Structure 1
Amino acid sequence: MEDSVAMAMERRRAAEAARKERIFNTRNRVIGLDLSKLETQVTEKRERERVEREQDKAFESLSAMHDALLQQQFEEEESRRAELSRELIQFRATHQRAEDSRDADLNFKQLDLNPPVSEKDLGPSSMQVFQGGDGMDREQKKAQMEENERFLKAQTQEKEKMRFHKNQTELLWGRAKVQQDLRELQLSAVEDKCKKEAQVALSMYNQAQASERAQQQKMDKMKEEGENFMEVWHMMTSDLLTECPEAAERRGEGSGPRVLLDRWKGMSAEQLNTIRKQREEQLTAKERQREAERQRKAAWDSVLMAQSREGEEEEKRESERERQRRTELDRYNMQLAREQEAHQQYLDKNLYTNRPAASYFTQFGSSSR
Structure 2
Amino acid sequence: MLDLQKCAAQDRVAAAIEHKRQIEEARRTRIFNPRVRTIGVDKEFLDRQVEEKKRLRDLEREHESRMDEALVRSSKLASLLQRQQDQERRRLNQEINAFRQTHQKPESRRDFDLDDPALLKKSKPLAEAYHELGPSSAQKFEGEDENQAVRRREQREQMQAWIAQQVQERRLAEQERAELERRYQEAVLGRDGRALELDRMERACRRRLNEATANFNRALAAEQEQRKCWLAAQEAEDSRAEIYNHVTGDFLNESRDQANSVCGPQRPLVAHYKGMSSRELEVIRDEQARQMGEIQRMKKDETVKNAEWNQLINGNARVAESYQRELDRRRSELNRQIAEENRRLAQQQKSHQDYLNRHVYKHNPSPEFYEQFNRSTR
User: Normalised by the shorter chain, which TM-score bucket?
Assistant: 0.5 to 0.7
Find 1:163's aligned residue among 144, 165, 174. 174
1:240 counterpart letter in structure 2: F
- Any residues of structure 2 matched to 1:162-311 within 5 Å, and which? 162-250=173-261, 252=262, 255-256=264-265, 258-311=267-320
Give the secondary structure class of the aligned counterpart of 2:272: coil
Provide closer, same or farther for how the CA distance between residues 132 and 220 of structure 1 changes in structure 2, counting only shifts above 3 A.
Answer: same
Question: Deviations 1:319-354 (Å, cap 9, x if unpaired)?
Answer: 0111111112222222233333333344444x2484
Aligned counterpart, 1:110? none
Q: Which has the higher contact order (CA 8 A, sep 6+)?
A: 2
Question: Deviations 1:296-318 (Å, cap 9, x if unpaired)?
Answer: 22222221221122111111110
CA distance in 1, matches of 2:332, 2:312: 30
- Structure 1 residues not aligned, in runs of 5+: 1-6, 63-68, 105-117
Aligned counterpart, 2:363? 355
Aligned counterpart, 1:111? none
Give the secondary structure class of the aligned counterpart of 1:232: helix
Give 1:256 deviation, angstroms.
4.3
Provide closer, same or farther for how the CA distance between residues 309 and 170 of structure 1 changes in structure 2, counting only shifts above 3 A.
Answer: same
1:319 counterpart letter in structure 2: D
Provide closer, same or farther for how the CA distance between residues 166 and 192 of structure 1 changes in structure 2, counting only shifts above 3 A.
Answer: same
Kindly indicate whether the alpha-carbon contact (under 8 Å) linking 2:250 and 2:258 is maintained by their aligned counterparts in 1. Answer: yes
* Alignment: residue pair count: 297
Q: Aligned-residue CA RMSD in angstroms?
A: 4.8
CA distance in 2, matches of 1:171, 1:209: 56
- Any residues of structure 2 matched to 1:328-343 within 5 Å, and which? 328-343=337-352
1:301 counterpart letter in structure 2: N
CA distance in 2, matches of 1:267, 1:184: 89
Give 1:132 deviation, angstroms.
9.8
> Mean Cα displacement is larger for which, 256-265 or 297-306?
256-265
Kindly indicate whether the alpha-carbon contact (under 8 Å) linking 1:245 and 1:265 is maintained by their aligned counterparts in 2. Answer: yes
Kindly indicate whether the alpha-carbon contact (under 8 Å) linking 2:133 and 2:139 is maintained by their aligned counterparts in 1. Answer: no
Aligned counterpart, 2:155? 144
> Mean Cα displacement is larger for which, 132-141 or 311-320?
132-141
Find 2:137's aligned residue among 126, 138, 144. 126
> Mean Cα displacement is larger for which, 222-231 or 164-173?
164-173
Provide closer, same or farther for how the CA distance between residues 206 and 123 of structure 1 changes in structure 2, counting only shifts above 3 A.
Answer: same
Give 1:183 deviation, angstroms.
2.9
Give 1:120 deviation, angstroms.
7.8
> Mean Cα displacement is larger for which, 120-129 or 138-147?
120-129
Provide closer, same or farther for how the CA distance between residues 101 and 174 of structure 1 changes in structure 2, counting only shifts above 3 A.
Answer: farther
Question: Deviations 1:228-262 (Å, cap 9, x if unpaired)?
Answer: 22111111111111112333335x48x54652222
Kindly indicate whether the alpha-carbon contact (under 8 Å) linking 1:248 and 1:260 is maintained by their aligned counterparts in 2. Answer: yes
2:326 counterpart letter in structure 1: R
Kindly indicate whether the alpha-carbon contact (under 8 Å) linking 1:240 and 1:263 is maintained by their aligned counterparts in 2. Answer: yes
* 2:305 is equivalent to residue 313 of structure 1: no
2:296 counterpart letter in structure 1: E
Give the secondary structure class of the aligned counterpart of 2:209: helix
Kindly indicate whether the alpha-carbon contact (under 8 Å) linking 2:110 and 2:155 is maintained by their aligned counterparts in 1. Answer: no
TM-score by length of 2: 0.62
Question: Deviations 1:27-79 (Å, cap 9, x if unpaired)?
Answer: 54895776999xx99xx9xx99xx9xxx9xx9xxx9xxxxxx9xxx9xxx9xx
TM-score by length of 1: 0.64
Provide closer, same or farther for how the CA distance between residues 353 and 123 of structure 1 changes in structure 2, counting only shifts above 3 A.
Answer: closer
CA distance in 2, matches of 1:260, 1:305: 59
CA distance in 2, matches of 1:364, 1:169: 117
Provide closer, same or farther for how the CA distance between residues 177 and 362 of structure 1 changes in structure 2, counting only shifts above 3 A.
Answer: closer
Give 1:267 deviation, angstroms.
1.2
CA distance in 1, matches of 2:304, 2:291: 20
- Structure 2 residues not aligned, in runs of 5+: 1-9, 69-74, 76-81, 114-127
Kindly indicate whether the alpha-carbon contact (under 8 Å) linking 1:249 and 1:257 is maintained by their aligned counterparts in 2. Answer: no
